[in-house]
Amino acid sequence: MLSEVSRLLKIMTVRGSILERYKGRIYNTYCVFGNDGKLKAKHRKIHLFDIDIPGKITFMESKTLTVGEAPTIVATSLICCFTFHLITVMLLLLS
């Protein structure tokens, strides 16, 4: 279980996409576990991907998934590829 990995390695981890069934609905969910292994946040996708190009492709998440209610905010030191190159951001994270 990812929460156990977080606790054992003392790192924050993010797990998704998880198809979560809740009260008869299905959500595309991401979970954030802290370095103590506890669930810090859960985010349900709020912008579902629907595309319909006649004769080419049709993919409609909205036919299966339920829209989440709001953005999710969690305090973290996680960074992504471009941010890693910005020393100012790195210094702020360390302060």
Residue range 23-49, pLDDT digits in tens: 999 999 999 999 999 999 999 999 999
Give residue 81's pLDDT: 59
Q: What is the mean pLDDT of the chain?
A: 88
Structural domain containing residue 67:
2-94
Tokens encoding 67: 């829209």
Q: Which residues contact 69 (CB under 8 A, 6 or more apart)?
A: 44, 46
Asked whether the predicted pLDDT for residue 62 surpasses 60, the reply is yes
CA 93 to chain centre: 20
Percent of the chain with pLDDT over 90: 66
pLDDT band at 55 (very low <50, low <70, confident <90, very high): very high
Count how many domains the chain has. Answer: 1
